[in-house]
Amino acid sequence: MRTNLLTTNSEWLKNATQKLTVAGVESASIDSLIILCFSLSLPKLEILTNPNKILTRKELKLANKLLTKRLEHYPISYLTKQVEFYNRTFYIDRRVLSPRPESESFINLLKLSDISNLKYLTDVGCGSGVLGITSKLEFPHLNIELLDNSKNALKVTGINVDKFQISSKIKLSNLIGNSDYKFDIILANLPYIPYTTTINRAASFEPKMSIFAPDNGLHFYKALARQLVVKKKNPKYIFIECLDNQITELTKLFSNNSYKLTMSEGLVHRFSR
Ligand SMILES: C[S@@+](CC[C@H](N)C(=O)[O-])C[C@H]1O[C@@H](n2cnc3c(N)ncnc32)[C@H](O)[C@@H]1O
């Protein structure tokens, strides 16, 4: 990308989109726009309605620097330090997995569940905290606990809890091992990708402990089911995310805890008792 000549918004977007497409980035066009918005600190509409605006030297330098990283498939959310989840903007960085759009199904399923008389929700493996925090924002009557076994991840959780000014408990914990909460509802988006799976290049920049799990990806859900038995805890609902080919075994696993699979949306499933 040229840095010494006059470049307009539309020229920069066209060149960046071309380069990202060649590099195999599927979201080339939207990513170019996101990078330019971030570099100019302007909303999308402002950029798109001013195609002939000439970038300053400083803006061009920053946009090109970010583009270079994106060409290496560095995740766009780590570049801009933000991600949209359920129509809200959360802070994000390399200490946590970048929340996936498909995980919004946790909130959709929660909305389809009878939770008016339930009070306590635990987000196990909370990472950035998107699931627990969104639950609290959508259902203010809930008390929220956010658990993760990564101190670094919990720092990001804390940033988002402050950002949205919600009250919640944040705890370092191996699954629910360190928690004495009431557990009416558990949301668990735990690592479930088998080690043998090839992940895309962007995901290779994310924390491995957020993605992979031993035992064909089932290790953490099996451990959670065991902890519930040991702690004699029976939440009304357990929501989990997993691969399609894991749900049969997980349904069997949770049936040992007297849970039935009662609702699914995409990769997210609800177990009830
Ligand atoms: C797939 S990420 C999900 C993050 C977030 N809930 C989301 O939906 O974007 C899994 C999270 O589980 C955490 N984790 C992994 N093993 C854990 C364990 N044994 N106990 C608690 N958290 C764990 C990871 O640190 C990571 O933040």
pLDDT of residue 6: 84
- Which stretches within 49-200 are classed as H helix? 57-71, 76-80, 105-111, 130-138, 151-164
CA-closest residue to ligand 1 atom 2: 210
**Least confident segment among 8-12, 57-61, 141-145, 198-202:** 198-202
Which residues are CB-neighbours of 203 under 8 A, at least 6 positions away? 75, 211
Look at residue 257 and tell me if it is in a domain: yes
Domain shared by 24 and 122, yes or no: no
173 Cα: distance to centroid of ligand 1 (angstroms):
10
Task: Calculate helix-pair angle for 28-40, 9-22, nearest 10 degrees.
Answer: 140
Looking at the 3D structure of the chain, how many domains does it have?
A: 2
Domain shared by 122 and 251, yes or no: yes
pLDDT of residue 190: 98
Look at residue 45 and tell me if it is in a domain: yes
Domain shared by 167 and 119, yes or no: yes
pLDDT digits 0-9 by tens, 193-225 = 999 999 999 999 999 999 999 999 999 999 999
Question: Can you give the residue range of the structural domain that contains 213?
Answer: 95-272
Biggest CA-to-CA distance, the chain: 68
pLDDT digits 0-9 by tens, 51-106 = 999 999 999 999 999 999 999 999 999 999 999 999 999 999 999 999 999 999 99
Here the tokens at position 229 are 């038995």
Any ligand 1 atom below 6 A from CB of 235: no
Beta strands in 3-114 (DSSP E): 82-85, 88-91
Residue 2, pLDDT > 60, answer no
